[in-house]
Amino acid sequence: MANQLGMDKALAIKNLRTLGMSERAIARSLGVSRNAVRRHLEGISSNDTKAPTGSAPTGSEPSNDATAPTGSEAMLQAASKPLSASQCEPLREVILAKLEQGLDHRRIFQDLVEEHGFKSKYWSVNRFIKSLGSDSELPFRRMEVEPGWELQVDFGAGRPCKDHTGVLRKTYIFRAILSHSRKGYTEAVTRLTTECFIRSLENAFWRLGGVPKTVVFDNAKCAVIKADWYDPELHPKIIDFCKYYNFTLLPTRPATPRHKGKVERGVDYAQENALKGRTFEGIADQNAHLEHWEKTVADTRIHGTTKEHVGKAFESREKPALAPLPSTRFPFFEEGKRKVSRDGHVSVGRAFYSAPPEYLGCEVWVRWNSQTVRLLNPRMESIAVHCTQLPGRFSTLGEHIHNEKIHTIERGIEYLLRKVRFIGPHATRWAETTIEDRGVAAARTLQGLLSLVKKYKTDKIDRACDTAWRSKASSYRVVKRLLENDSAAQQQTMDFVDDHPIIRPVAEYSDFIRRSIQGG
């Protein structure tokens, strides 16, 4: 099987083995499989036990070598002389210097060709660098921060506890570690929701007596909607919580727990030292034990890395560096997405609240508590605020009703009267008199008057209203009939009769004709 390899690789395997390299290292350096290396080396071992073939040259002394090379082996040895362990060996120091600069294999090969006239192929450089072991991971750098700068938080498994029904339930522990002093806070919770995370983190702030500048957490769904190292999308409630306490939440790089290594070890420490092997009747008992353990054990230890008393380092340096707490705690509210229905409302707690008409059919964020219901757009900007209603009730803001969906009567008498004023002063006077005479019922009368604008000019309507006012007629039908009969609209006065409001007695017509003749 060994003769299936090329002559150069077969010889290289033998030479590298002589130098003490392992089969794995030889295979990695030459780019062949370990099985091929093993088969070749086994073939060499079996051939070494064979007697040498061929006869010694005439007149020469017998060879003292018990394993004289055969003809083919002699050819291999001869071919090996111009081939060193690597053609990159003379440039070892140059390559090492470029590796320290952080250059990759391809860039080093290009520089060797350009600067040193390197004649071999890229793969020679690649194999040589790999043989140097330069591809091994660099040691992690331990990051230390100033007092009050960073708090790392995480969740871990707690001890099972009984709930109010006596059933054993799974619990979790929330652990927070100040990165400078290693002062910690631990709390047991039953759920990993956004509300639980906010309350636990808030409890840590108040127990520590201040707020750090940054909080480092992983990409758990309770805080991060979409994980992204460069621009993570945080839960809206988390954003408000950060603004309220004036700190920055920094999610770690996805799948990189070492970015919060202090709290990762802190969770293990709490599990192993405080909880392992213990049982608790309820979640309150577990939290009481954790609080006592934090004060008497965790705070009194000499930390293995800092070599300092944790409690004293916190009190002397880190606690004074924390930002002050607000006067009150973060206002608790519930939150969720709702779709604006066809009637322009969203449902919250079986009550209904209006949204602006442009959000019809869209999803909006809703935040509510026992006093208010707030609607927000996707940019988390407030678009409506309502008082909390009882189930089955509606809260509809006037500005949320589109103009085309508001009936003129709904707008009220004042709105109708303002529109009548555009017709003319006589129409305004007639409308005001009608409102005084008929009260709320005048709204429809004014609506009818405004509808006449579609058919008649405003100056004619104004004259007809003047005639109706002089005749003390507050009926829409009178104004309409006067407009239909132009001659009647030109009369200055008109008195009511019992039969019909616009029909005058015959005697008045005869008097009118007589006065006209005498005046002529």
Give the pLDDT of residue 34.
79
- Check if the beta carbon of residue 504 is closer than 8 Å to that of residue 497: yes
Categorize the per-residue pLDDT at 30 as very low, low, confident or very high, splitting at 50, 70 and 90.
confident
**pTM of this prediction exceeds 0.85:** no
- Check if the beta carbon of residue 453 is closer than 8 Å to that of residue 446: no
Task: Give the chain's radius of gyration (CA, Å).
Answer: 47
Contacts of 16 (CB under 8 A, 6+ apart): 25, 26, 29, 30, 85
Categorize the per-residue pLDDT at 11 as very low, low, confident or very high, splitting at 50, 70 and 90.
confident
pLDDT, mean of residues 384-397:
89
519: alpha, beta or left? (left if phi > 0; alpha if psi -120 to 50): alpha
Q: What span, in angstroms and rounded, lies between the C-alpha atoms of 315 and 312?
A: 5
| Residue 432: count of CB within 10 angstroms of its CB | 15
| Residue 178: count of CB within 10 angstroms of its CB | 29
Q: Strand pairing of 351-354 and 248-251?
A: unpaired
Q: What single DSSP character describes residue 320?
A: G
Helix (H, G, I), strand (E, B) or coil at 179: coil
Give the pLDDT of residue 441.
76
Superfamily of structural domain 150-321: Ribonuclease H-like superfamily/Ribonuclease H (3.30.420.10)
Residues of 125-162 as b/e, b for ≥16 C-beta within 10 angstroms? Answer: bbbbbebeeeeeeeeeeeeeeebbbbbbbbbbebbebe
Q: What span, in angstroms and rounded, lies between the C-alpha atoms of 86 and 132?
A: 12
Indicate the domain borders of the chain. 2-48+84-131, 150-321, 334-405, 408-519
Look up residue 162 and give its two tokens.
């009984």
| Residue 240: count of CB within 10 angstroms of its CB | 18
Is 70 exceeded by the pLDDT of residue 402?
Answer: no
Rounded to 5 degrees, what are φ and ψ at 404?
-70, -15
Report which of residues 82 and 245 the model is more confident about: 245
Q: Which numeric CATH code is attached to 334-405?
A: 2.40.50
472: alpha, beta or left? (left if phi > 0; alpha if psi -120 to 50): left
From residue 272, alpha-carbon distances to 3, 119, 156 in Å are 59, 60, 11
Q: What is the pLDDT of residues 160-171, one digit of tens each?
A: 998 877 888 899
Is 60 exceeded by the pLDDT of residue 156?
Answer: yes
- Check if the beta carbon of residue 21 is closer than 8 Å to that of residue 132: no
Residues of 439-451 as b/e, b for ≥16 C-beta within 10 angstroms? Answer: eeebbebbeebbe
Look up residue 391 and give its two tokens.
């189930």
Look up residue 421 and give its two tokens.
């004023």
Give the pLDDT of residue 288.
94
Is 50 exceeded by the pLDDT of residue 53?
Answer: no
Strand boundaries in 184-333, DSSP class E = 184-189, 214-217, 224-226, 233-234, 248-251
**Nearest of 31, 25, 24 to residue 9 by alpha carbon:** 31
Contacts of 411 (CB under 8 A, 6+ apart): none
Q: Which residue has the tokens 């794995």?
A: 24
Q: What is the pLDDT of residues 268-310, one digit of tens each?
A: 999 999 998 888 988 999 999 999 999 999 999 999 888 999 9
Of 56-60, 86-90, 175-179, which gets the smallest average pLDDT? 56-60
pLDDT, mean of residues 183-205:
92
Q: What span, in angstroms and rounded, lies between the C-alpha atoms of 46 and 362?
A: 80
